Chains A and B, each alone.
Chain A
Amino acid sequence: MADPMKIRASLKGDVADIRVMMSHPMENGQRKDSAGNTIPHHFIQQIWVEVGGKMVIQGQTGTSISRNPVFGFKVKGAKAGDKVVIKWRDNKGETRSDEATITA
């Protein structure tokens, strides 16, 4: 199973500042291993961000995103204690979901 994400969500005024780090190789299909074989594509394609039970952000990503991706978002109208749920799905169909609570 994929390794957990690290999610930080803190409130500035009524805006939640959300940062997420994902553990993922984001192989772009262009690198070679030590034996000279091309390492196949393996990258996150879709990302979902839910705050307080509402889907607020949906994204799609390609092979230009760096290894162990980091994303930052801002959500207005959030409250301390609201739950943030972030999910991703990669090109192999693997998924990972983690959550955090918004801190004041």
Chain B
Amino acid sequence: MRIIIAFAAAIAFGVSPQLTFAQPSPAKAPAKVQKKAPAAATPAVEEPDEATKEFEKFRAQMEDSNPAELFEMKGEELWKQKRGPKNVALAESCDLGQGVGVVKGAYVGTPRYFADADAVMDAERRIVWCMVEKQGFKFDDIAKNPFHRENDPGAPDITNLVTYVAAHSKDMKIAVPLDHPRVHDAYETGKEIVNYRAGPYDFSCNTCHGSDGKRIRMQNLPNISTGKGAIKGVQGWPGYRMTGGVMLTHQWRMNDCFRQQRFPSPKYASDVVSDLLTYMIGNANGQIYRGPGIKR
């Protein structure tokens, strides 16, 4: 069953159907692959180097006045305003899992199963669902440009909304309800997706993020199969990215993983991203989420 779901997801984002997630990719010679891969992970010591320590010194200052708050302000306005063809406010119609209109704790409580949509959804996907179902916006209009691009005058509404919602889970424990059978299914599918090797570099997520001590250039890479590592992949999203001055969501980050693996882009707000997020955020259960962050 799990394999079938994963397989369907693979087809959904355009991966050739004769490959399966469980395949250990014996087809290619590892030596050749390693040479080809520019980001091939090399072991690194856990001890932070001088540069890392120096970055940390200024982190607190950057986080203290994080432009993410500007997007949060816009998100709050959008959450409370009556909008869309149905002229309804999300604050009076949208249930993010904590009750209609409740934002407190919603971000750390997702992904979760939503019976009205019969799907496991992460926070961003759920807000999109509310915008479509409750406010009457067209999904395709939202999905056309769902992420903040450098030359855009501002972030898309959905990004501002996610930032607002995420800010209301600051300093709360991550609590993805993994004991729900549908959430558990999504978690298991997510686990298979992170093991799925494909693309010109024959990468899987786990090539870089499945064991300890990997890094790319100066950055240490978290091992998302552990709680300690998974929280690093969750922390700081949505995040204000200094490069380009854009506000980016966790969904964007997942899409960018596909890009970095040279995979086709996943469909916006689709199962594959929710499943990945269920796996990663689920692994971080019990850890404290620090709210919207700042990224290099």
Seen from chain A, the residues whose Cβ lies within 8 Å of a Cβ on chain B are 3-4, 6, 8, 19, 21, 23, 25-26, 33-34, 39, 66-68, 70, 72
**B151, A34: Cβ atoms closer than 8 Å:** yes
Q: Is the interface of A mostly helix, strand, loop or mixed?
A: loop
Tally A-B pairs: CB < 8 A. 34
Q: Which residues of B contact A6 (CB under 8 A)?
A: 69-70, 73
Nearest-CB residue, chain B, relative to A6: B69
CA distance A26 to B242 in the complex (A): 13
- Whether B154 is near chain A, meaning CB under 8 Å from some CB there, is yes
**A70, B67: Cβ atoms closer than 8 Å:** yes
- Whether B42 is near chain A, meaning CB under 8 Å from some CB there, is no
- List residues of B (218-277) whose CB comes within 8 Å of A's CBs: 240, 242, 244-245
**B65, A33: Cβ atoms closer than 8 Å:** no
**A39, B151: Cβ atoms closer than 8 Å:** yes
CA distance A68 to B154 in the complex (A): 11
A-B contact list, 30 entries, CB within 8 Å: A3-B70, A3-B154, A4-B73, A6-B69, A6-B70, A6-B73, A19-B64, A19-B65, A21-B65, A21-B67, A21-B70, A23-B67, A23-B70, A23-B154, A25-B153, A26-B245, A33-B151, A34-B151, A39-B151, A66-B242, A66-B245, A67-B244, A67-B245, A68-B67, A68-B70, A68-B240, A68-B245, A70-B65, A70-B67, A72-B65
The 8 tightest CB contacts between A and B, nearest first, are: A67-B245, A68-B67, A70-B65, A23-B70, A19-B65, A6-B69, A68-B245, A33-B151
CA distance A3 to B73 in the complex (A): 10
- Whether B290 is near chain A, meaning CB under 8 Å from some CB there, is no
- List residues of B (43-87) whose CB comes within 8 Å of A's CBs: 64-65, 67, 69-70, 73-74
CA distance A21 to B154 in the complex (A): 15
**A25, B245: Cβ atoms closer than 8 Å:** yes
Q: What class of interface size applies to chain B in its complex with A?
A: 10 to 19
The contact string, 1 if C-beta is below 8 Å from chain A, for chain B 112-155, is 00000000000000000000000000000000000000010110
Q: Which residues of B contact A19 (CB under 8 A)?
A: 64-65
CA distance A23 to B69 in the complex (A): 10
CA distance A26 to B150 in the complex (A): 12
Nearest-CB residue, chain B, relative to A68: B67
Nearest-CB residue, chain A, relative to B242: A66
**A3, B69: Cβ atoms closer than 8 Å:** no
Q: Which residues of B contact A26 (CB under 8 A)?
A: 245
Nearest CB of B to A33, in Å: 5
Q: Which residues of A contact B65 (CB under 8 A)?
A: 8, 19, 21, 70, 72
Q: Which residues of A contact B240 (CB under 8 A)?
A: 68
CA distance A8 to B65 in the complex (A): 9
Q: Which residues of A contact B154 (CB under 8 A)?
A: 3, 23
CA distance A26 to B151 in the complex (A): 12
Q: Which residues of B contact A66 (CB under 8 A)?
A: 242, 245
CA distance A39 to B150 in the complex (A): 12
Nearest CB of B to A23, in Å: 5
Nearest CB of A to B238, in Å: 15
Q: Which residues of A contact B70 (CB under 8 A)?
A: 3, 6, 21, 23, 68
Nearest CB of B to A73, in Å: 12
Q: Which residues of B contact A3 (CB under 8 A)?
A: 70, 74, 154
Nearest CB of B to A9, in Å: 12
Nearest-CB residue, chain A, relative to B67: A68
CA distance A34 to B240 in the complex (A): 22
Nearest CB of A to B159, in Å: 14
